[in-house]
Amino acid sequence: MRYPSILLALLVVLFGALAIAPPDRLTWALENSLVVLAVAVLWARRRRLRFSNFAYTAIFVFFVLHEIGAHYTYTQVPYDRWWTELTGHTLSSVLGWQRNHYDRLVHFSFGLLLAVPMRELFLAIVAARGVTSYVLPVQMTLSWSALYELVEWLAAEVFGGDTGAAYVGMQGDVWDAQKDMALAGTGAVLAMLLCAWFGRRSPRNAGTG
């Protein structure tokens, strides 16, 4: 468990650093409530729910992306400013974007990165095999994405105002929730296709396919 412990320590340091003076403390707290719960569950069940180092890395990368979004609030992550400092041009002007797309990146990453540990869970706990072991993570990704959109809606109803709007992050797009779920599902499908491809090339390293 040394490697997961190192990742956890790094995540705690990052969490502490990004907890300093976020633009909206309440939105930051809302964004991090599920993260704290997820990390607590993973740590409490660490001896019974063991993942590969690759899966732990994928979970860590997702949490890092999320913590950045939680600190700035997703609609205000200044990736355009960072890109301009590197290239002299805004990324939005290059790609023709009209909104902040950081939330889209994280929803896509949810499927791409977390479908792998999901598959490992299905392989270990319910002994999923064959095509089923690839389909179930996609289904779980979509179900968790739908549940999260419901949580966002309820939080917006409870808190309202700027906090509710920042947490939902629609940015004027009436199809925001559907697009977020679609991106998560697309990421999960891509992850499972890659798992299947690598599994055929090196089945000993990819579990039962």
- Strand stretches in the chain, DSSP E: none
Of 121, 132, 120, 116, the residue nearest 192 (C-alpha):
116
Q: Is 12 helix (H, G, I), strand (E, B) or coil?
A: helix
The per-residue pLDDT for range 187-206, each reduced to its tens digit, is 999 999 999 988 776 645 44
The per-residue pLDDT for range 98-151, each reduced to its tens digit, is 788 899 999 999 999 999 999 999 998 888 888 999 999 999 999 999 998 888
Token code pair at residue 205: 């390293």
Between 179 and 95, residue with greater pLDDT: 179
Residue 209 reports pLDDT greater than 50: no
Residue 58 reports pLDDT greater than 70: yes
Q: Residue 101 has what pLDDT? A: 87
- Cα separation, 130 vs 199, whole angstroms: 11
Residue pair 69/78 in contact by the 8 Å Cβ criterion = no
pLDDT average, residue stretch 55-76: 95
- For CA atoms 81, 76, 63, 22, give the dihedral sign: positive
Q: Residue 167 has what pLDDT? A: 61
Residue 184 reports pLDDT greater than 60: yes
Within 10 angstroms of residue 205's Cβ, the number of other Cβ atoms is 10
The per-residue pLDDT for range 15-45, each reduced to its tens digit, is 999 999 999 898 899 889 989 999 999 999 8
Name the band, by pLDDT with cuts 50, 70 and 90, for residue 208.
very low
Average pLDDT, the chain: 87
Q: Residue 202 has what pLDDT? A: 64
Q: Residue 206 has what pLDDT? A: 44
